[in-house]
Amino acid sequence: MKTYRKIFTSLFIGSVFIFSCLAQNPIVPPGIYFADPAAHVWQDGKFYVYGSVDESTNYYCSHRYHVLSTSDMKQWNIHQNVFASSGKEDEVPYNDKLLFAPDCMEKDGKYYLYYCQPDREVAEGVAISDSPVGPFTFSQQINTGGYEEIDPGIFTDDDGQAYYLWGQFTLKMAKMMPDMITVDTTTIMDHVLTEEEHYFHEGAFMTKRNGIYYLVFADISRANAPTCLGYATSHNPMGPYTYRGVIIDNDNSDPAVWNNHGSMAEFNNQWYVFYHRSTHNSRMMRKPCVEPIFFREDGSIPEVEMTSQGAGAPLSATEKIEAERACLLFGNARIRLTEPGNEEVGAIHHNDRVGYKYIVFSNDIKKVKARVRASEKSSKIVLSHHMPWQSPFVTLDVPAATNNEWVEIEADLAYPIDGTYALWMKFYGDPKMELDLDWFVFE
């Protein structure tokens, strides 16, 4: 059983789960699955992230929302069940449908939560709170002029005008009335983004920087799946928009990963992209992650890679690294929950590969330890700090096991390593092997 004292400490205070994870990815602890992150900085200077909550590998999302918040990108707070569509805290009076991706906006001390559901006749609505973390109280359904679709986004320009955006395959946009709950249907525009011209799939998020309007969205330009977050820019809030490329791609975060959905925002003079990764060999059970991003002089954004370190410093090799910090999985391996508060990289087969980016090593490291659950056949874990598999520096022998129990194994390094590197693990064994990895540490 793992403990997270070196990685995060936690306690429950009412409905708020407070933990510290050193800004590493993912930014929620084991057992919490939070997708579609929409990030905002409000007047109190804190970062707030609104999203949907996954609970099953059989369907997207759930009947509730959580909110994440932080003051320093290190300690993240989970404000649980801030809005619900069924059960004890039900705030949707007209159905008990699931809640898909939300967004939120502040005006005059009120916080407006825009939600959506998988029902084309009553897809979208708004709830209001005096607090950025709720609880949110139902206000009304939103009239979108006959374009009832999912994934609402909200943006307020410098002049105070708010814009509402939503839709799949083609992006719809309209001005909001001053009450922030009514769409000015006379201003609705369709095809602001399209699949053909912009690779737009769904999940648009809008922001502004240096006079340029940015739309971030699930981008279907690669692998016939919307695994990318792409972006388009304009000098007018309602376009026309020019496609500019991919910010991040979550492909190879899970064998069955399908979609991405996220946002970008500035916090303490640094811009970040928020996105999610799938787990459990499913399109669901997604985990929120964050990476720093940068801008060229022309306002374009160089694509960034998925990492384990996220917004923080590289992971320390000499502190226990939980296996689920893996940012790249190739083969059958997937991140999954094994027991309450404990995740692993599990169902590892022969020739699978797992990557961690990035880890700081030092010359005085002599060996590596790992906690594994082995199969009935012996196997090996080969570690390298280069791809493709040049000069592996240690091999861990995993003995055969018949009792399905966790064991700790260790091995000496073949040569010293000093510096910051990606760590790659490759697994070898019987074609029918199945191995689980809980954690590893260098000593």
The predicted model scores a pTM of: 0.94
CATH number for 315-442: choose from 3.30.1490.100, 1.10.287.130, 3.40.190.290, 2.60.120.260: 2.60.120.260
What ranges do the domains of the chain cover?
A: 10-293, 315-442
Q: What is the pLDDT of residues 69-104, one digit of tens each?
A: 999 998 899 999 999 999 988 999 999 999 999 999
Of 308, 342, 303, residue with least CA distance to 325: 308
Q: Using alpha carbons, list the distances in angstroms from residue 388 to 120, 180, 391, 392, 425.
A: 48, 53, 9, 10, 11
H or E element that contains 196: helix 195-198
- Look at residue 19 in the predicted model and tell me its pLDDT: 57
Q: What is the pLDDT of residues 23-51, one digit of tens each?
A: 789 999 999 999 999 999 999 999 999 99
When pLDDT is cut at 50, 70 and 90, the band that residue 387 belongs to is confident
- Look at residue 122 in the predicted model and tell me its pLDDT: 65
Question: 45, 96 in Cβ contact below 8 A?
Answer: no
What CATH number does the domain located at 10-293 have?
Answer: 2.115.10.20
Of 371, 414, 380, 413, residue with least CA distance to 398: 380
- Look at residue 376 in the predicted model and tell me its pLDDT: 80
124: CB partners within 8 A, 6+ apart = 114, 115, 116, 117, 141, 142, 144, 148, 150, 152, 166
The fraction of the chain above a pLDDT of 70, given in percent, is: 93
Q: Rounded to an integer, what distance in angstroms lies between the CA atom of residue 435 and that of residue 278? A: 20
Question: 268, 274 in Cβ contact below 8 A?
Answer: no
When pLDDT is cut at 50, 70 and 90, the band that residue 404 belongs to is confident
SS3 258: coil
Instruction: Give me 62's structure tokens.
Output: 């759930």
Q: What is the pLDDT of residues 134-193, one digit of tens each?
A: 999 999 999 999 998 999 999 999 999 999 999 999 999 999 999 999 999 999 999 999
- Look at residue 121 in the predicted model and tell me its pLDDT: 65
Q: Answer left, alpha or beta for residue 18, where phi above 0 means left and psi between -120 and 50 means alpha.
A: beta
Per-residue pLDDT averaged across 305-313, rounded? Answer: 96
Q: Rounded to an integer, what distance in angstroms lies between the CA atom of residue 344 and that of residue 118? A: 32
Q: What is the mean pLDDT of the chain?
A: 92
**Lowest mean pLDDT segment, chosen from 38-42, 117-121, 154-158, 318-322:** 117-121
